[in-house]
Chains A and B, each alone.
Chain A
Amino acid sequence: QVQLVESGGGVVQPGGSLRLSCVTSGFSFSDYGIHWVRRAPGKGLEWVALDGKNKYYADSVKGRFTISRDSSKNTLYLEMNSLRGEDTAVYYCARDLRWEGQNYFDLWGQGTLVTVSS
């Protein structure tokens, strides 16, 4: 079954750290880039980072978040440091599909909730 499953969310204090995981199955992990996208309460979707041929980050998380992968486990990670209240959101991983030279999110996970609060 082709799927992405996120885990690792929870409650963390401001300034704290958390590592999210995205376990993939049903497709060749090494052939695809994978994004993290988040949705804060009452807000819309926001792109966070991409692990592809290179790594890319949104300005809002650059220097605080690190994306990485373990191909032996078909798993993508998001290491989040110096967390702020505005990082509170459901975090989704999404598979990157290159179509006619551009990127498209063609498969998504169900998400994991991160709450930054004292």
Chain B
Amino acid sequence: QSVLTQPPSVSGAPGQRVTISCTGSSSNIGADYYVHWYQHLPGTAPKPLIYGNKNRPSGVPDRFSGSKSGTSASLAITGLQAEDEADYYCQSYDTSLSAWVFGGGTKLTVL
């Protein structure tokens, strides 16, 4: 059971918009810790997509955006492309566990 809760899967057709939620608690996201997002294809290096709730590293397309409110955060992907099919993880810090924590991951399928 992950400290941060994500839906196991989401899907969308090419060109559509999807969102992935990440729900935490008062000891992590709600404690003003930033949320970061990563894209991961098994067998490859995870790739940072969003840091500090809403900032994109250099090279990440503006089709990816992040937001945070209260104890939750969201990743939005617009203009879905086949290459977006991957696993997506949110990450934050938990003050009760004194540990960096990840969501359980969401598998994005592009139909």
Contact = CB atoms under 8 A, between A and B. Distances in A.
Interface in A61-118: 90, 92, 94, 97, 99-100, 102-106, 108-111
B84 to A, nearest CB: 18
Interface stretch (A12-20, A22-30, A45-53): A45-53
Given A102-B93, A104-B36, A111-B45, A47 B102 contact: yes
A104 B33 CA distance: 11
B34 interface: yes
B33 A44 contact: no
Contacts of B57: 106
Contacts of A92: 45-46
B23 to A, nearest CB: 15
A59 interface: yes
Interface string B90-108: 0101000111111111000
Contacts of A102: 33-34, 52, 93
Contacts, number: 70
Contact of B38 (A46, A100, A105, A111): A105
A58 interface: yes
Contacts of B103: 44
Interface residues of A, number: 27
B46 A44 contact: no
Interface of B: 2, 33-34, 36, 38, 40, 42-48, 51-52, 57, 87, 89, 91, 93, 97-105
Given A45-B89, A102-B33, A111-B43, 16 more contacts: A37-B46, A44-B102, A45-B40, A45-B91, A46-B102, A58-B99, A90-B42, A92-B46, A94-B46, A99-B34, A102-B52, A105-B46, A108-B47, A108-B48, A109-B45, A111-B45
CB-CB nearest 7 A-B residue pairs: A44-B105, A108-B45, A47-B100, A45-B102, A44-B104, A104-B51, A108-B46
9 contacts: A44-B87, A44-B104, A45-B46, A45-B102, A45-B105, A92-B46, A99-B51, A109-B45, A110-B44
